[in-house]
Amino acid sequence: MLYVEILGNLPEMARDEVKAMLELAGGRIAGQDYLFLKIDADERAFPYLNRLGLAHEYGELIVEADSIEELLRKAEEVEWPIKGTFKVDTETMANCRFNVLDLPRKLGAVIHAQGFRVNLSRPDTLVRVYCGERVYAGIRLRFFDPKDFESRKAHHRPFFRPISLHPRVSRALVNLTKAKRELLDPMMGAGGILMEAGLLGLKVYGVDIRPEMVEGAEMNLRHYGIKGYELKLGDATRLGELFDKRFEAVATDPPYGTSATLAGRKRDELYRKVLESIYGVLEEGGRLAIAFPADFDGDVEAEKVGFKLVGKYYQRVHKSLERYFYVFKE
């Protein structure tokens, strides 16, 4: 068994991102305790879990229990797959039912008794304990360093616009499409979604109606070392004229507001035409991940075109912007 600790700002979206990756890997979510997901999968899932955007970490789940005493008893009975030195670290979730104040010392003593050495400053292995409705102990395999994502936020890019999705959210949108080969962003702006897809090794295709955005997106992709891309100046409502192929996945964050960003067109009408255009270039069974402001009925309008709703996630950005992220299937 494995575990994933997801982030708490978009928990339903984070959980479904894990689910989408596990569907590619042949695994499944076996249970959830607040932000802790139990995963029924083996090492074949690692390349897919490594893609996650809305996760804090993942690891190998060693023991779980209904009490501290049971956890310590089970910990004595298992062989801990520890390499080098170790340290025990506790994560007390908002629904924690137990007093875990002294647990790192007690569990550390159990593991130490098996012959492993403790190193509190620079351990080779981090043993993670999670306290929720139950208690869990595992070994961290991968930590998703926030600094990695922060380094790709809009103001760090060579070309940027202040209104841009956080790289973690862009990464999650890519993963929710279950893309394995390629991804199209038909309203790419400065290319934030394409950057995350390209860093995952996907071939990326981008379209924007503004020449400065096409130039700026290419600047950003080059800056982050992405080579497999094809960018076009064009209209997202006429994708069939721009490409003579269909795509397995589309992810995009359309402009939300001013006539400048909408190229002088009415917002809702533009959204409807974009949905029709995307539907026309998606492969059978392909997925679309897209954001719309909350006052646009994205699920209703997409279903009129022929899409099937897979997921819908609410986010309040600030007092004048509330939006939903949608995942649709062709």
- pLDDT digit string (tens) for 298-319? 999 999 999 999 999 999 988 8
Q: What is the distance between the alpha carbons of residues 36 and 179, in angstroms, rounded to a whole number?
A: 25
Band the pLDDT of 320: cuts 50, 70, 90. Answer: confident
- pLDDT digit string (tens) for 39-66? 999 999 999 999 999 999 999 999 999 9
Q: What is the distance between the alpha carbons of residues 270 and 254, in angstroms, rounded to a whole number?
A: 10
- Give me the amino acid identity at 79: E
- pLDDT digit string (tens) for 144-160? 999 999 999 999 999 98
Residue 162 has pLDDT above 90, yes or no: no
What integer is the mean pLDDT of 67-75? Answer: 98
Give me the residue label for tokens 């390629």.
Answer: 182
What integer is the mean pLDDT of 202-213? Answer: 97
pLDDT at 263: 67
pLDDT at 261: 62
Residue 285 has pLDDT above 90, yes or no: yes
What integer is the mean pLDDT of 178-185? Answer: 98
Q: Specify the pTM.
A: 0.96
Count CB-CB contacts under 10 A for residue 137.
Answer: 27
- Please compute, for residue 195, the number of CA atoms within 13 A of its CA located in the half-sphere on the CB side: 33
What integer is the mean pLDDT of 160-188? Answer: 95
Q: Average model confidence (pLDDT) for the chain? A: 96
The residue with greater pLDDT, 320 or 223, is: 223
pLDDT at 93: 98
Band the pLDDT of 258: cuts 50, 70, 90. Answer: low
Count CB-CB contacts under 10 A for residue 318.
Answer: 6
pLDDT at 228: 95
Q: What is the distance between the alpha carbons of residues 153 and 65, in angstroms, rounded to a whole number?
A: 40
Q: What is the distance between the alpha carbons of residues 184 and 170, in angstroms, rounded to a whole number?
A: 13
**What DSSP letter does each residue of 91-148 carry, written as one string?**
EE-TT--S--TTHHHHHHHHHHTTTPPB-SSS-SEEEEEEESSSEEEEEEEEE--HHH
